[in-house]
């Protein structure tokens, strides 16, 4: 269960002084290792904030965040970066690829943070390109790829360092239905191969690919998946 | 090295801007190489000046009587004395500049070992007053061979016949080992003295060789004291001081070079800094993504500094390389009077400038990249 995630009494507030907005209000949540969780809710409900805390992109004001057997809210900035590199793969709505780099080079980025040699990096890139079905597009730059293909490259980049957890922020929000289904099927396949996936989505059909769905509103979970 | 492709791709994100910035930096380093190259060559010439040689000249910049020669020779600590009259001249066209040194061949070659010539040439100069010894590169340039009869035009050395044209015969060649490109013509002093319009029996300066360089000050003072009450008082100084004084007549070269190079690099600093800052602003999201993936703050800042280093390093290599190619041409264009080459110390200073400009110009964007908060950057950009 090392890749499980647990949040305990997490509070997160943005802003200063009177303008402070409490986004997460004592949130507690447990996600088992190997789970595929869809986080749903209206805009401003705190979904992305929650996802950022799970992915170690942000820290709570109060409470504890455990992921991959580490209390990540106690890690220093550098330690948190190293932790993200080892344990988390990120997939965004707008792909967030480096426009000047080819697909293969984009995928290589997380591997630069590992001690792997050039040959081993190339092997890994070839493997994940094969998994996402883009072996023939390795030398293409993002501008030469369709939206679906770019998202596959982003998924390959998230997978290449073999993290336990995939954090997806509306991964199909910018794709047509058919392409979105392909991407979601791919995520489902990865989940079946052991990846823990947390996905924020507005799309109820996308949530159907998850093993569990949690709804949020005004910084709290609607009562169906609160940790014991 | 594994990050190099990332730095390279970041640098060329805006191709036109990078090319323009690179060109500006190349020009800056080219200017630096040219100016510092000339300055350092001059300094090197001063640096290799012989410590055991003094120069005695008139304090009023007038000639000195030849009669001073035996007086100076008798001074304690003096081993030998020679004399010289120097002037700029030309061959056929004003652009073909030559440096005429009217010398006593026997005394001159004995005291100035850096001017190397053959025994035959020396003997020929002693035998016939019209015979001259010329620098080998000069002979090669004009196709002079031993026995060639040429005429040198030397306005600074007017003749009794009303002209400034000195017919001479090439006796042989010499190698001026400390400044090989100097276009030297060694003219027989007796011929010069006999044919010149005015100031016969005088010399421009004496060159005095002393036994102990540590006694240079004492001997100089003694020589000057000897003639202090004479109509032509002297000023004696070491060869090094003499060389520095000669160069300072052109102006404070060090100050000029430093001022120009300083202004150029200050402008370059602003230019590169502005370019890097713009590039950073355009790529805030990309830097945030790198941090998201797991790149540490320091690594991301390092990528920004790496881009500055790569840009300035590339400009440094191209700029200094061009200066290295151009400097010998500058030396040739001055007829070899102004020796210029890119020394190792100038290259080292260039590398220093690359590092300083890179780090200083990258300071602000690198700091911002270091401080970049992932979530804020992803939301705002």
Q: Domain spans of chain A? A: 5-221
Assess contact for B172 and B146: CB atoms under 8 A. yes
- Which residue's entry shows tokens 């060159």? B207
Share of chain B above pLDDT 90, in %: 55
B44-67 average pLDDT score: 82
A155-164 average pLDDT score: 91
Would the pLDDT of A103 be above 70? Answer: yes
Would the pLDDT of B295 be above 90? Answer: yes
Assess contact for A84 and A158: CB atoms under 8 A. no
A185-201 average pLDDT score: 91
CA distances from B149 to B85, B130, B281 (A): 22, 10, 72
CATH of A5-221, picked from 2.40.50.140, 3.60.10.10, 3.40.50.300, 1.20.1530.20, is 3.40.50.300
B38-66 average pLDDT score: 81
DSSP letters along A76-113, please? Answer: -HHHHHHHHHHHEEEE-TT----TTS-HHHHHHGGGGG
Query: What's chain B's average pLDDT?
Result: 88
Task: Tell me the ipTM for this assembly.
Answer: 0.90
Assess contact for B166 and B102: CB atoms under 8 A. no
| Confidence label for B251 from pLDDT (cuts 50, 70 and 90) | low
What pLDDT is recorded for position B249?
63
Range from A104-113, A197-206, B48-57, B328-337 that averages highest in pLDDT: A104-113
What pLDDT is recorded for position B96?
87
Q: Which pTM does this prediction carry?
A: 0.71
- SS3 assignment, position B158: coil
- Which residue's entry shows tokens 């012989």? B50
Q: Which residues are CB-contacts of A181 (< 8 A; sequence separation ≥ 6)?
A: none
Phi-psi region of B174 (alpha: psi -120 to 50; beta: other; left: phi over 0): beta
- B239-248 and B15-47 are packed helices; what angle lies between their axes, rounded to 10 degrees? 140
Measured between CB atoms, which of A57, A112, A118 is closest to B3? A112
Q: Which of residues 128-147 of B touch A (CB under 8 A)?
A: none
Q: Which residues pair with B206 in a beta bridge?
A: B56, B83
- Do strands B149-153 and B165-176 pair parallel, antiparallel, or not at all (unpaired)? antiparallel
B32-52 average pLDDT score: 77
Q: Which residues pair with B236 in a beta bridge?
A: B56
What pLDDT is recorded for position A226?
45
Assess contact for B179 and B191: CB atoms under 8 A. no
Q: Which of residues 150-169 of B touch A (CB under 8 A)?
A: none
Residues B204 and B193: their CA atoms lie apart, in Å, by 12
- SS3 assignment, position A16: coil
Assess contact for B124 and B172: CB atoms under 8 A. yes
Query: By CB neighbour count within 10 A (0-12 exposed, 13-18 middle, 19+ buried), where does A1 fall?
Result: exposed
- Do strands B131-135 and B165-176 pair parallel, antiparallel, or not at all (unpaired)? parallel
Q: Which of residues 103-142 of A touch B (CB under 8 A)?
A: 105, 109-110, 112-113, 118
Residue pLDDT, tens place only, B189-234? 999 999 999 899 999 999 999 888 888 888 999 999 999 988 889 9
What pLDDT is recorded for position A25?
86
What pLDDT is recorded for position A227?
42
Whole-angstrom distance between the N-terminal and C-terminal Cα of chain A? 16
Residue pLDDT, tens place only, B87-99? 889 999 988 888 9
Lowest average pLDDT, out of A8-22, A131-145, B141-155, goes to A8-22
Q: Which residues are CB-contacts of B349 (< 8 A; sequence separation ≥ 6)?
A: B32, B36
B302-314 average pLDDT score: 95
What pLDDT is recorded for position B335?
57
Q: Which of residues 143-162 of A touch B (CB under 8 A)?
A: 157
Residues A22 and A7: their CA atoms lie apart, in Å, by 16
What pLDDT is recorded for position A220?
83
CB atoms closer than 10 angstroms to residue B339: 22
CA distances from B306 to A104, B298, B350, B372 (A): 22, 12, 18, 17
Share of chain A above pLDDT 90, in %: 58
What pLDDT is recorded for position B47?
65
How close is the nearest chain B Cα to the Cα of A209, in Å? 25
B79-90 average pLDDT score: 92
Would the pLDDT of B46 be above 80? Answer: no
Residue pLDDT, tens place only, A22-79? 889 888 999 999 999 999 998 888 889 999 999 999 999 999 999 888 898 889 999 9
Residues A166 and A210: their CA atoms lie apart, in Å, by 13
Query: What's chain A's average pLDDT?
Result: 89
Asked if B286's CB is within 8 angstroms of A98's CB, the reply is: yes
Residues A199 and B309: their CA atoms lie apart, in Å, by 40
Q: Which residues of A touch B289 (CB under 8 A)?
A: 96, 98
Residues B12 and B307: their CA atoms lie apart, in Å, by 10
> H or E stretch including B100?
strand B93-103
What pLDDT is recorded for position A69?
84
Lowest average pLDDT, out of A154-168, B8-22, B232-246, goes to B232-246
What pLDDT is recorded for position B255?
81
Asked if B3's CB is within 8 angstroms of A81's CB, the reply is: no
Give the residue among A80, A103, A175, A102 at the shortest CA–CA distance from B9.
A102
Interface test with B, best of A81, A88, A108 (most B CBs within 10 A): A81
Would the pLDDT of A139 be above 70? Answer: yes
DSSP A114: S
How close is the nearest chain B Cα to the Cα of A159, in Å? 11
What pLDDT is recorded for position A192?
92
In chain A, DSSP assigns E strands to 5-14, 21-31, 36-40, 62-67, 70-71, 88-91, 165-169, 196-200, 212-217, 220-221
Would the pLDDT of A1 be above 60? Answer: no
Share of chain B above pLDDT 70, in %: 93
Asked if A109's CB is within 8 angstroms of B290's CB, the reply is: yes
Assess contact for A29 and A6: CB atoms under 8 A. yes
Q: What share of chain A is helix, strand, coil (3-state, %, to 5)?
A: 40, 25, 35
Residues B83 and B88: their CA atoms lie apart, in Å, by 17
A211-215 average pLDDT score: 91
Would the pLDDT of B60 be above 60? Answer: yes
């Amino acid at each position: 269960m090392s890749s499980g995630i647990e949040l305990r009494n997490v509070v997160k507030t943005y802003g200063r002084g009177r303008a402070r907005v409490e986004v997460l209000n004592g949130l507690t949540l447990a996600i088992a290792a190997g789970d595929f969780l869809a986080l749903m809710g209206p805009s401003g409900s705190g979904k992305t904030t929650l996802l950022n805390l799970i992915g170690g992109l942000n820290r709570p004001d109060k409470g504890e965040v455990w992921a991959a057997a580490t209390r990540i809210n106690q890690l220093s900035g550098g330690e948190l970066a190293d932790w993200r590199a080892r344990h988390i793969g990120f997939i965004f709505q707008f792909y967030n690829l480096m426009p000047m780099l080819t697909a293969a080079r984009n995928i290589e980025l997380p591997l630069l943070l590992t001690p792997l040699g050039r040959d081993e990096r190339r092997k890994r890139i070839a493997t994940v390109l094969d998994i996402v079905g883009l072996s023939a597009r390795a030398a293409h730059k993002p501008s030469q790829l369709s939206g679906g293909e770019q998202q596959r490259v982003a998924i390959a980049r998230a997978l290449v360092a073999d993290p336990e957890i995939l954090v997806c922020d509306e991964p199909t929000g910018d794709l047509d239905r058919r392409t979105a289904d392909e991407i979601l099927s791919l995520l489902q396949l990865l989940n079946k191969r052991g990846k823990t996936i947390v996905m924020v989505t507005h799309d109820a059909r996308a949530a159907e690919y998850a093993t569990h769905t949690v709804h949020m509103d005004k910084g709290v979970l609607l009562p169906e998946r609160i940790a014991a | 090295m594994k990050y190099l492709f990332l730095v390279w791709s970041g640098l060329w994100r805006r191709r036109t801007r990078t090319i323009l910035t690179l060109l500006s930096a190349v020009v800056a380093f080219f200017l630096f190489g040219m100016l510092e190259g000339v300055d350092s060559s001059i300094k090197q010439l001063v640096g290799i000046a012989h410590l055991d040689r003094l120069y005695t000249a008139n304090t009023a910049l007038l000639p000195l009587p030849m009669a001073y020669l035996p007086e100076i020779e008798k001074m304690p600590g003096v081993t030998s004395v020679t004399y010289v009259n120097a002037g700029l001249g030309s061959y056929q066209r004003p652009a073909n500049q030559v440096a005429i040194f009217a010398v006593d061949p026997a005394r001159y070659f004995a005291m100035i070992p850096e001017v190397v010539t053959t025994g035959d040439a020396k003997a020929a100069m002693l035998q016939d007053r019209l015979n001259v010894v010329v620098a080998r590169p000069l002979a090669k340039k004009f196709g002079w061979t031993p026995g060639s009869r040429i005429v040198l035009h030397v306005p600074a050395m007017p003749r009794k016949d009303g002209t400034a044209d000195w017919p001479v015969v090439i006796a042989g060649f010499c190698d001026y080992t400390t400044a090989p490109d100097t276009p030297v013509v060694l003219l027989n002093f007796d011929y010069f003295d006999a044919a010149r319009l005015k100031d016969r029996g005088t010399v421009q300066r004496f060159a005095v060789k002393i036994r102990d360089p540590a006694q240079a000050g004492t001997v100089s003072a003694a020589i000057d004291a000897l003639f202090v009450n004479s109509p032509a008082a002297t000023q004696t100084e070491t060869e090094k001081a003499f060389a520095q004084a000669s160069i300072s007549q052109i102006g404070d070269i060090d100050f000029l070079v430093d001022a120009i190079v300083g202004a150029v690099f200050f402008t370059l600093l602003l230019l590169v800094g502005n370019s890097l800052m713009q590039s950073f602003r355009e790529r805030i999201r990309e830097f945030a993504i790198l941090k998201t993936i797991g790149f540490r703050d320091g690594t991301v800042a390092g990528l920004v500094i790496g881009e500055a280093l790569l840009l300035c390093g590339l400009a440094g290599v191209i700029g200094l390389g061009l200066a290295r190619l151009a400097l010998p041409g500058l030396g040739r264009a001055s007829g070899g009077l102004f020796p210029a080459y890119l020394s190792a110390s100038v290259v080292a200073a260039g590398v220093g400038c690359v590092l300083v400009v890179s780090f200083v110009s990258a300071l602000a964007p690198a700091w911002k990249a270091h401080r970049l908060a992932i979530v804020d950057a992803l939301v705002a950009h």
